[in-house]
Amino acid sequence: MSSSTTDFKMFTDEPEAPPIILGRSELERWANCPHAAWMLDHRQVSNESKLAAEGNECHDAIAAAVKARHEDAATIGRLREIVEETAAKSRPDIQPGVIDACRRVYLILEHLCHKPYDTERAPEDILRYDGGDGQHSGQIAFDLLPAAEDGSRGPIRLTCELDLLLATPSAEEVEIDDWKSGYRHWTATDVFESFQFQFYALAVFRKYPGVNRVKVRVFMPRKGASTSYVEFRRDQSYVIHARLLSAVELYLKHKGATDASDVPALPLPEKCSICPAAIYCKLAHKPECDFKKDPAAYLAEYVATQEKADRMADVMAVAVRRDGSDIVGSGFAFGVDKPPSKKAKPCTLYSIKTEGEE
């Protein structure tokens, strides 16, 4: 900031612009596809779903158990009761799904109560968690960018809420545990590449200057499984910061658009197939967009297409048998002369005849 700007601010009562606060999930939407994020922000589409509602209730049940462990040193048996009781009292329209999502939380509860090799975990190891109070709150905020020098905007403040942050024997290392109550199977690679967990790692580095390594693990309570731990190091902060900054720039550039057509889309088949805005997006991939419009009709078309393909194959098979030659097209052929696979022969034990044997 120049000295003239500093002097101006010192001798005027002009208030500084308020911070622009962005939650992790909102910023991730803008990073994933600005067009979809704009549509969701302007309520032209909804991101709500039964599975998401079940996930929120499942998180609440586990959070109640974490709180009981932290504040009352509750036993693992009591933690299981808390999860079951909380899940049973969830919203009546989704209660069966919530109970199913919480049925295999034993890995999480065991992790809360014991370290590796069956050593008991002290409740004091729980640093932050969803539903925690004061310094134990799972909420973390940090400024990614300072306020603009010309006063046109305040600082860019990013926020997130951790499910669980645990201390380790080293003051330089902490553990983040996160619950994913859907049906997706998470891998260590998914965790490492995830916008969410890179965001979390940078938030922890900013909040805890003495921490140099953040280990992240995803639990899947519906499956009774978890990923291996993935480590983020402080020296990776630059590339994570750059990724978040790119998302912020997309937000600042397009948030104020008055029409969705002015906001770019970043279509990919795997994103368009689950995007609530796909049916309104001209750039959405066609098959995925059709599925989003009417999944039942899409299924019916798929079945009909499969049946048509089978009948087409039957017609061609009759012609091949009749004419004694394959049907050859541009780059493809149909018939009996498919070249053998060039896979390497397997190594196996076999018998050979030695000299003198008949």
- Domain encompassing residue 190: 17-254
Average pLDDT over residues 9-33: 83
Q: Say if 263 falls within a structural domain.
A: no
> Is a pLDDT exceeding 50 seen at residue 8?
no
Q: Say if 349 falls within a structural domain.
A: no
Q: Say if 326 falls within a structural domain.
A: no
Instruction: Find the distance separating the first CA and the last CA of the chain, reported in whole Å.
Output: 97
pLDDT band, residue 1 (cuts 50/70/90): very low
Q: Look at the chain and report how many structural domains it folds into.
A: 1
The pairing of beta strand 213-220 with beta strand 225-226: antiparallel
Q: Say if 202 falls within a structural domain.
A: yes
Average pLDDT over residues 326-330: 87
pLDDT at 288: 62
Q: What is the C-alpha separation between 147 and 35, in angstroms, rounded?
A: 26
pLDDT at 60: 96
Residue-wise pLDDT tens digits, 44-96? 788 788 999 999 999 999 999 999 999 999 999 999 999 999 999 999 999 99
pLDDT at 302: 76
Q: Say if 301 falls within a structural domain.
A: no
> Is a pLDDT exceeding 90 seen at residue 352?
no
Distances (CA, A) of 243 to 38, 40, 60, 144, 218: 19, 22, 30, 11, 21
Q: Say if 63 falls within a structural domain.
A: yes
pLDDT band, residue 3 (cuts 50/70/90): very low
pLDDT at 170: 95
CA geometry: angle 274, 280, 283, nearest 5 deg: 80
Name the average pLDDT for the chain: 88
- Return the top range by mean pLDDT from 2-16, 326-340, 344-358: 326-340
Q: Say if 321 falls within a structural domain.
A: no
pLDDT at 122: 93
CATH assignment at residue 41: 3.90.320
pLDDT at 344: 73
> Is a pLDDT exceeding 90 seen at residue 305?
no
pLDDT band, residue 332 (cuts 50/70/90): confident
Q: Say if 277 falls within a structural domain.
A: no
Per the structure block, which two tokens stand in for 286? 């066609």
Residue-wise pLDDT tens digits, 240-288? 999 999 999 999 999 999 988 899 888 887 787 778 887 777 777 666 6
